[in-house]
Amino acid sequence: MTNAEVAACFEELADLLELEGANPFRVRAYRNAARTVAGLAESVETLVDEGADLTELPGIGKDLAEKIACIVHTGTLPQLEELRAKYPTGVLDMLKIPGLGPKKVAVLFRELGIQTLEELRAAAEAGRIAGLRGFGKKTEQSILEGIEHLQTAIARVYLAEAMPVAEAIREDIASLDCVDKAEIAGSFRRRKETVGDLDLLVTSTDSERVMDRLAENEFVEKVLQRGETKQRVRLRMGLEMDLRVVAPESYGAALAYFTGSKEHNIVVRRRGQERGLKINEYGVFRGEKRVGGKTEEEVYAAIDLPWIPPELREARREFEWAEQGRLPKLIELRDIRGDLHMHTTATDGTATIEEMIQGAKARGLRYIAITDHSKRVTMANGLDATRLRKHWKDIDRVRGRISGIDVLCGVECDILEDATMDLPDDVLAEAEFVVAVLHYGLKLPREQITRRLLTAIENPYVDAIGHLTGRLIGRRPGADVDYDTIMKAAADNGVMLEINAHPSRLDLDDLHAMQAAYDYGIPILINTDAHSVGGLDVMQFGVFQARRGGLEKRHVANTKPLK
């Protein structure tokens, strides 16, 4: 039972309770529990087995602690099963339609007995929905469009994919004379690995002009919603964008609001309440009087906290840290000196040794390791001992004529399904850098995954483990890694763990990078795994993930000089 699975139970229960018309704060408690569990680096299953006191976790009381234990032991909750029996899964599907929330879905289910999206479509087409209390012709029409849209709607988008579009739109809006500031906020500013939409904050005294300009932008397909201060549009790429326009004096408060996260905002506002203040997107108010909000610093100062970096604003540990003046000084891209994982045309890269070295040098790196694939990765033309030794000779020749950057003859060695290394020790011993990885057999049971990873970690020639779980964000889950065992072994054996910076990997993720660095003292590497010169530019995404995990420069080995 993974943390994600436990969290999913609570999420589903929250949705079902909402349909039942339960107390919204009780529903929130379940959602908070889901978030707490999902945000835990340690496995709740282990915690339960060890008899840990779960009520020490934020938002988990006696009741929820028992429910967690019940889910871990039985896979579900009696209460959840009862509600599932009452509301078929198709009812929950209806909640995905924009504009349909728990109240409306409950009406459709109760009054018309609608249980699936198909039945909902039929009812709307037959005109049976308009006329229900709270439903009219427009709602009926928007339901039909909503069902249609669900079929083609895109999932969350990689931050890296959203970035060029976001930046282009931001610049266009910023070029208007009436615009003071334009910033992308939301999950984008918090540097989450994927974004559900883009949130553009603009300060201006002419919101009409700003909204018109966005509506005309070449990336925009359609205006979905428009009011006095905000507009929602759908971009041609499928992603949607929220535009919020406020007056310049509200910049800080609005940026804080729109950056979120939602849960972070709730804590900020609660701390405001406790101090007799009201905090909203327009400012900080004592009664009618505005007492701050021009900058984010003012907002945080009003609740007796230092400014908190956006990457940490997830209502995890940041308030505790800020309160104690222990906010980490987060690593920055410019701290990175080396990149110890990349490929060339020797295997599945598209650039030569020389091009990769020059590319790295042009990006200001002082050292790199060239780590082409080992033979098991036949698809990528992986190298056997003979070809690898020849490749290293080639690298050695090229590095000899390029000054200003150190180049290591490395290898990305597969950890085979039978828990042996893809290359013999005598070859690995000759390597100047070895990053060991799982590529195949990711679905093997936890015990075998552990055995394989331990083989690599205990191998004297392995320097680091790359993309530990092998997850591909939004496409496939990673291997079932026993983090505690693996991290303890890595710490004991002096093996580093990688944050693979590729936008679809980011593996280690933020939570486990934090666990490795803070709980186990394991040096972290942030590597690009570049397969082309341009691939070296993804380093920033690895740094973002590290920042979200609270990592400082000191935690990251490739900020240090090559020894």
Ligand X SMILES: Nc1nc2c(ncn2[C@H]2C[C@H](O)[C@@H](COP(=O)(O)OP(=O)(O)OP(=O)(O)O)O2)c(=O)[nH]1
For Zn ion, give the closer residue by CB, 509 or 529.
Answer: 529
CB 527 within 8 A of CB 55: no
Report the residue from 7, 37, 47, 105 that binds DNA according to the rule CB under 7 A: 105
Nearest to 431 by CA among 462, 456, 459: 462
According to the binding rule CB under 6 A, does residue 18 interact with ligand X? no
CB 555 within 8 A of CB 331: yes
Report the residue from 260, 328, 382, 470 that binds ligand X according to the rule CB under 6 A: 260
According to the binding rule CB under 6 A, does residue 459 interact with ligand X? no
For DNA, give the closer residue by CB, 229 or 420.
Answer: 229
Nearest to 468 by CA among 453, 485, 488: 453
Q: Which does 500 bind (CB under 5 to 8 A by kind): ligand X, Mg ion, Zn ion, none?
A: none
Minimum CB–partner distance for residue 538 and Mg ion (Å): 22
Nearest to 108 by CA among 77, 89, 130: 130
DSSP 516: I
E strand or H helix at 448 = helix 446-458
According to the binding rule CB under 7 A, does residue 238 interact with DNA? no
Query: Distance between CA atoms of 429 and 462, rounded to whole angstroms?
Result: 9
According to the binding rule CB under 7 A, does residue 169 interact with DNA? no
According to the binding rule CB under 6 A, does residue 39 interact with ligand X? no
For the four alpha carbons of 104, 106, 111 and 113, in that order, the dihedral sign comes to positive
According to the binding rule CB under 7 A, does residue 145 interact with DNA? no
Report the residue from 45, 197, 314, 406 that binds ligand X according to the rule CB under 6 A: 197
Residues 228-257 that bind ligand X (CB under 6 A): 257
Minimum CB–partner distance for residue 342 and ligand X (Å): 30
Give residue for tokens 């999206």.
Answer: 117
For ligand X, give the closer residue by CB, 4 or 122.
Answer: 4
In three-state secondary structure terms, 410 is: strand
- Using omega within 30 degrees of 0 as the cis cutoff, is the peptide bond preceding 504 cis? no
Minimum CB–partner distance for residue 287 and Mg ion (Å): 30
Q: Please, is 76 exposed, middle or buried when counting C-beta atoms within 10 Å of its C-beta (0-12, 13-18, 19+)? A: middle
Minimum CB–partner distance for residue 514 and ligand X (Å): 20
Minimum CB–partner distance for residue 58 and DNA (Å): 5
Query: Distance between CA atoms of 16 and 23, rounded to whole angstroms?
Result: 12
Residues 181-210 that bind Mg ion (CB under 5 A): 186-187, 197, 199
According to the binding rule CB under 6 A, does residue 16 interact with ligand X? no
188-200 core/surface letters (b: 16 or more CB in 10 A; e: else) = bbbbbbbbebbbb
Nearest to 377 by CA among 413, 342, 343, 345: 413
Residues 524-563 that bind Zn ion (CB under 5 A): 529
For DNA, give the closer residue by CB, 45 or 242.
Answer: 242
Report the residue from 45, 140, 193, 242 that binds Mg ion according to the rule CB under 5 A: 242
| Secondary structure E strands in 72-158 | 157-158
According to the binding rule CB under 5 A, does residue 372 interact with Zn ion? no
Q: Which stretch binds Zn ion (CB under 5 A): 163-171, 248-256, 294-302, 407-415?
A: 407-415
Minimum CB–partner distance for residue 244 and ligand X (Å): 8
For ligand X, give the closer residue by CB, 196 or 441.
Answer: 196
Helix and strand numbers, DSSP H then E, in the chain: 23, 17
Minimum CB–partner distance for residue 180 and DNA (Å): 18
Nearest to 359 by CA among 407, 412, 409, 397: 407
For the four alpha carbons of 396, 397, 398 and 402, in that order, the dihedral sign comes to positive
According to the binding rule CB under 5 A, does residue 412 interact with Zn ion? yes
For Zn ion, give the closer residue by CB, 12 or 412.
Answer: 412
Q: Which residues bind Zn ion (CB under 5 A)?
A: 412, 529
Q: Which residues bind ligand X (CB under 6 A)?
A: 186-187, 192, 195-197, 199, 257-262, 265
Q: Which residues bind DNA (CB under 7 A)?
A: 23, 25-26, 28-30, 33, 55, 58-65, 97-105, 130, 133-140, 142, 186, 197, 199, 225-230, 232, 242, 262, 265-266, 269-270, 272-274, 278-282
